Structure 1
Amino acid sequence: MLNALTVDVEDWYMTSDFDIPHQEWHRFEDRVAGSTRMLLELFEKYEVKGTFFILGCVASRHPELVAEIAGRGHEIASHGYWHRMLTRLSEEEFREDLRLSKRLLEEISGSPVTMFRAPSWSIAKDRFHYLRIMEEEGFHCDSSLQPFRTPLSGVDGAPLEPFMPVVNGRKLELLEFPPTVLQMKGIRMPFSGGFYLRVLPYPFIRQALRSVNRTRPGMIYIHPWEVDPDQPRLPGSPLVRLSHYYRLRSTLGKLERLLQDFEFVPLGKLLEPSKDSYPAVALGNGQPGQAAEESRFP
């Protein structure tokens, strides 16, 4: 079973953990190029390719980094421009953010950019119609709908497997690929990236992905700052500091063990079969009388 390997390319101070306005980002040490190259070298060691969801502002500051990622054969995708959660953006602001990042990444990489991941998985129930905007702007795959709730984002009960969203009664030509979680006795257990990858013991992570792989591909996600334990420390609540800084030194070793134990490819490689093979799911506001093969959520 193949699994998707994905990287959200953002710097340590850009995350939603600290919620620092982007107008102030110039005050902080720029470390994203070095930490991203650590991941590139690891992937090169195991001859693995992945999908890099890159912030437009990072691409603007480091076009050579985007060119290097593309030149090494990895897939280039958009993470938005300023790492602003979609729940804080109007439709017009979101569309402009998409266009800016897409245009810049395509100019640098020389390849079409058709995949998107919202900062902090911030597609919420009142933002399902933003998937239609993605489709209109030329995106073919989204990975923004987190199928469990956290204090920051997520949608309880959302589908665990890839699906074709139905919004306002229309099936979109856009595949939704949610982050991978393990369902155990009705409980959804995240394990496949970020804080969860850092905090959980590797044997559990390995077994969880093996369990997922019995029925479907999984997806691992990582941030470059998570392999940078020497990054500066910022003040914050105990929860924020735990979420951002806890066990940073464990990340690279766990990621390397995953590369040894599983087969990984770019996300686009998993999407090569016809989209007709994925179920259609109405996201809460589909119209009655849809095709029988469609399911409804919620």
Structure 2
Amino acid sequence: MQNALTVDVEDWYQTSDFDFPLQTWDRFEDRVDANTRKLLDLFDGFGVKGTFFVLGCVAKKHPGLVTEIVSRGHELASHGGWHQMLTRMTLAEIRSDLTWSKALLEDLSGQAVTAFRAPSWSVSHQNLEVLALLEELGFRVDSSLQPFRTPLSGMKGVPHHPFHPVVGGRRLNLVEFPSCVARLFGTAFPFSGGLYLRILPVGIITAMLRRVNRERAGMVYVHPWEVDVQQPRITRSPVIRLTHYYHLRTTERKLQRLLAQFQFGRLQDVVAGQDVPDVELAGSGGTQVAFR
């Protein structure tokens, strides 16, 4: 079973953990280029290809990184322009952000960019119209929904498998690949990316991914700053220190274990091999008509 290997290409200071205003970003040390190349080398060492969701602002500052990702055979995808939560933006602002960042990535790479992931998984029942906008702008795969709630985002009850969203009675020409969870005691259990990857023992992570692979393809996601133990340390609340800094030293080792034990590939290739049903989604205050 092939699983999707994905990277959200953003720098340490651009995350929703710190939520620094955009006008302050030039004050912080830029580390995304070296850390992304570290992941590229790691993937090369295991002979695997993945999907890199690149911020437009990162691509503008590091155009050579974009061409390097493509030259090594990975899928180039969009992470939006400036890592702003879509739930805090108007649809017109989202359209402008996506149009600019998609065009920039395509100009730099010379190829179509057809996959998207919202910053911090910020598509939910509050803004499902974003999915129709993605279709309109030429995206064919989205990975912005997570089937559980967090303080930032999420949509409880989302299917655990890839599906075609049906929004407002219309089936979108778009495949949604939600974040990977295992079902335990009727509950969606996240384990394969971000803080969940760092905080859980590798034995539990591999057991959960094997459990998922008995039924469907899974997905791993990671950020370049999560393999950077030397990144600047910012004084923040204990919760933020936990979510951003906890067990950074374990990320690369856990990725190595996963890459050695499981098959991985680009998101577009994994989606192509899936049976993708239609699933109707309801808007704000509603529930799904169909789910796994």
Q: TM-score, normalised by structure 2?
A: 0.97
Aligned counterparts, 1:21-60, within 5 A: 21-60=21-60
Rounded Cα–Cα distance in structure 2 between residues aligned with 1:92 and 1:296: 29
1:132-167 per-residue CA deviation (whole Å, 9 max, x = no partner) reads 000000000100011001111111111111110011
Q: Structure 1: how far apart are the matches of 2:155 and 2:258?
A: 27
Distance 1:105 1:208 in 2: 34
Larger mean CA deviation between 209-218 and 149-158 belongs to 149-158
**Does the 8 Å CA contact 2:281/2:289 hold for their aligned counterparts?**
no
Residue 212 of structure 1 and its aligned partner are, at CA, apart by 0.2
Amino acid at match of 2:66: V
* Maintained 8 Å contact 1:284/1:296: no
Alpha-carbon offset, residue 273 of structure 1: 4.3
2:243 equivalent in structure 1: 243
Structure 1: runs of 5 or more not aligned: 286-293
CA distance in 1, matches of 2:3, 2:289: 25
| 1:202 is aligned to 2:202 | yes
Structure 1: how far apart are the matches of 2:290 and 2:71? 41
Task: Supply the distance in 2 between the matched residues of 1:268 and 1:133 (Cα, whole angstroms).
Answer: 19
Counterpart residue number, 2:121: 121
Q: Match for 1:282: what amino acid?
A: E
Q: Distance in 2 between matches of 1:5 and 1:140?
A: 18
**Partner in structure 1 of residue 277 of structure 2:** 279
Report the counterpart of residue 211 of structure 1 in structure 2: 211
Establish whether residue 63 from structure 1 lines up as the match of residue 63 from structure 2: yes
**Structure 2 CA distance, aligned partners of 1:78 and 1:25?**
20
* Equivalent position SS for 2:65: helix
CA deviation digits over 1:76-126, x for unaligned, max 9? Answer: 000000000110110100011111110000011111000000000000211
Question: What is the RMSD computed on CA atoms of the aligned residues?
Answer: 1.5
CA contact (8 A) 2:145 2:158 kept: yes
The answer to whether the 8 Å contact 1:169/1:282 transfers is yes
The answer to whether the 8 A contact 1:106-1:112 is kept is yes
CA deviation string 1:3-25 (max 9, x = no partner): 00000000000000000111110
Q: Percent identity?
A: 58
Residue type of the alignment partner of 1:206:
T
How do 1:255-266 residues align onto structure 2 when only pairs under 5 Å count? Answer: 255-266=255-266
Q: State the secondary structure of the residue aligned to 1:127.
A: coil
Letter in 2 for 1:221: Y
Name the residue aligned to 2:81.
Answer: 81
CA distance in 1, matches of 2:277, 2:43: 32
Q: Where does residue 289 of structure 1 map in the other structure?
A: none
One-letter amino acid matched to 1:26: D
Number of the residue aligned with 1:158: 158
Is residue 86–residue 119 contact of structure 1 (8 Å, CA) maintained in 2? Answer: yes
Cross-structure match for 1:139: 139
Whether the aligned pair in 1 keeps the contact of 2:282 and 2:289 (CA below 8 Å) is no
Structure 2: runs of 5+ lacking an equivalent: none
User: What letter corresponds to residue 137 of structure 1 in structure 2?
Assistant: L
Going from structure 1 to structure 2, the CA distance change for 1:297 and 1:23 (only over 3 Å counts) comes to farther
Runs of 4+ in 1 over 4 A off after TM superposition: none
Q: Tell me by how many angstroms 1:296 deviates.
A: 3.1
1:174-185 aligned at under 5 Å gives the runs 174-185=174-185
